[in-house]
Amino acid sequence: MNVIGIGTDITECLRIAQMIERHGEIFITRVYTPHEIEYCSSRKSSTQHYAGRWAAKEAVLKALGTGWIRGITWRDVEVRNRQGGKPTIALAGGAREICEKLGIGEMQISISHCRSHATAFAIALCDD
């Protein structure tokens, strides 16, 4: 497999908590998929998990080399977890179209968080 792109992001958990507090359900449903909302809301430190997914979405778009261009929405990038906890990325809409154009067959993600910050690192891969 060849590396097409890499991306990283770090965000303050307090910033995400303030966005949730200020905008509530409108913010959450605009940024996160129903699956992500269910996962994060069920966690003891839900803000840290929301922040980790925010960072993951940013890192994925950096790995694609696009950033937030027209045709891509926050919910086009979804973080899911395999049994055992390993995060994976599911792409839809504009993000998936760009992935297909670039020949990207796999997107790998790593997410970490603590009380104050969440960070993510993404790698876009294509077959040889």
Interval 25-77: pLDDT, tens: 999 999 999 999 999 999 999 999 999 999 999 999 999 998 777 789 999 99
3-state helix, strand, coil in the chain (%, to 5): 45, 30, 25
Catalytic residues: 62, 113
pLDDT value of position 2: 94
pLDDT value of position 92: 96
pLDDT value of position 120: 98
| CATH fold label, 2-126 | Ribosomal Protein L22; Chain A (3.90.470)
Q: How far is it, in rounded angstroms, from Cα 15 to Cα 71?
A: 25
Name the band, by pLDDT with cuts 50, 70 and 90, for residue 91.
very high
Task: Round the average pLDDT of the chain to a whole number and report it.
Answer: 94
pLDDT value of position 50: 98
Quickly count helices (H) and strands (E) in the chain: 4, 5
H or E element in which residue 109 lies: strand 106-113
H or E element in which residue 7 lies: strand 2-12
Q: Where are the domains of the chain?
A: 2-126
Q: How far is it, in rounded angstroms, from Cα 70 to Cα 58?
A: 15
pLDDT value of position 69: 78
pLDDT value of position 71: 83
